Amino acid sequence: MRTTRSTIRTRLRLAGAFATVLMAAGVVTGPAAQAGEERHVKQPTLAELAQRHGRYFGSATDNPELTDRPYTEILGREFDQITPGNGMKWYATEPEQGVFDFSKGDEIVNFARAHHQKVRGHTLVWHSQLPDWLTGREWTASELRAVLKKHIQTEVRHYRGKVFAWDVVNEAFNEDGTYRETIFYRTLGPGYIADSLRWAHEADPRVKLYLNDYNIEAVGPKSDAYHRLAKELRAQGVPLHGIGMQAHLALQYGYPDTLEDNLRRFSRLGLDTALTEVDIRMELPADEAKLATQAEWYRDVTEACLAVRRCVGVTIWDYTDKYSWIPAFFEGEGAALPWDEELRRKPAYYAIREALIRR
């Protein structure tokens, strides 16, 4: 947690911001508030506010929650971009070798189309959530190249014209900037990244192609590795269009103060950037001070993207604590998103609005 700003300053700033936003929005709070969402007069959504800056504001989602009507009402109204949390990953799309199933991804694409939202494809090449047929045997380099190329091109062709961007290779580096020892790296070497980008581009020359990872928001060894790789790939003419910074942040580890500088240095390479999986977790239980700091961080993350022309948008990793992945993976942590488990707006929501309104 940053010590450069006092809790008093944070609370005063948030109180003023919330009052301004609530008054401008006509939001009714207290007894008149409805379960799941405050009763309010028509006000711009997060998406509409982001569009004023030439950005999108999106949310991840997953197939099981599309049956939750109060949830989908907010999802379809508040955001203009959707990322499937799991439905486009390898285990879901090619459960048997050469047998493809795009039903889960298609369901989310259809939801997005019905609500005039664009879709980010996630993800083609990742070391996790792979089917057993792929991980349960040894491959020669020529065999795995053929398997990888077919998977990438079949999926990209299926979604051609339906997604605006792909996270082509996800989480390729370790924290120290060395290559992650994945099945792809071990068998094919680092060239698998360039090949994956080329194959995706062949399958859909118009879609934007990204590398995506966590803990690369700040300048450091891991983000330096991506900067070097991106520079090399661009020099070689490899079709790389952007870097996705996941931004899974945690209050106890401190805010990435060099985020804006980091976004700018990738922009100078001629690349777009995006904040692709934003959530800001805390050690439970949540309290007023933690929620105020979380709100400040959400505002700062949003402002950092708005400050850099080639940062194209922000996506939160689902919008509600009800469907957050955090509690299942980080024991004793949670409360990471701008809506709580009852679909009520938290201070973070109003801080995001403040950033989008006042920037």
Statement: residue 140 has pLDDT above 70:
yes
* Residue 42: predicted pLDDT: 84
The values of phi and psi at residue 121, to 5°, are -75, 130
Q: Categorise residue 42: left if φ over 0, alpha if ψ from -120 to 50, beta otherwise.
A: beta
Query: Which residues participate in catalysis according to the annotation?
Result: 171, 277
- Whether the per-residue pLDDT at 9 is higher than 90: the answer is no
The pTM for the full model equals 0.90
In a domain, 13, yes or no: no
Among 86, 116, 117, which Cα is nearest to 101's?
A: 86
Q: What string of DSSP letters covers 287-330?
A: -HHHHHHHHHHHHHHHHHHHHSTTEEEEEESSSBGGG-SHHHHS
Q: Indicate whether 296 pLDDT > 80.
A: yes
81 in helix, strand or coil?
strand
Residue at 37 is within a domain: no
- Quick check: 5 pLDDT over 50? no
pLDDT of residue 359: 73
Residue 41's pLDDT is 65
Structural domain boundaries enclosing 326: 55-358
pLDDT tens, 301-315?
A: 999 999 999 999 999
What is d(CA 152, CA 168) in angstroms, rounded to the nearest whole number?
A: 8
Summarize pLDDT for 192-219 with one digit per residue, the tens: 999 999 999 999 999 999 999 999 999 9
Q: How far apart are CA 50 and CA 357, in angstroms?
A: 9
Query: Does residue 353 contact residue 38 with C-beta atoms inside 8 Å?
Result: no
Cβ 57 vs Cβ 356: under 8 Å:
yes
Overall domain count for the chain: 1
| pLDDT value, residue 270 | 98
Residue 219 covered by a domain? yes
Looking up residue 78, the CATH number of its domain turns out to be: 3.20.20.80
Whether 297 has a pLDDT exceeding 90, the answer reads: yes
* pLDDT given for residue 20 in this prediction: 42
C-alpha separations of 168 from 20, 66, 153, 339 in Å: 41, 25, 11, 29
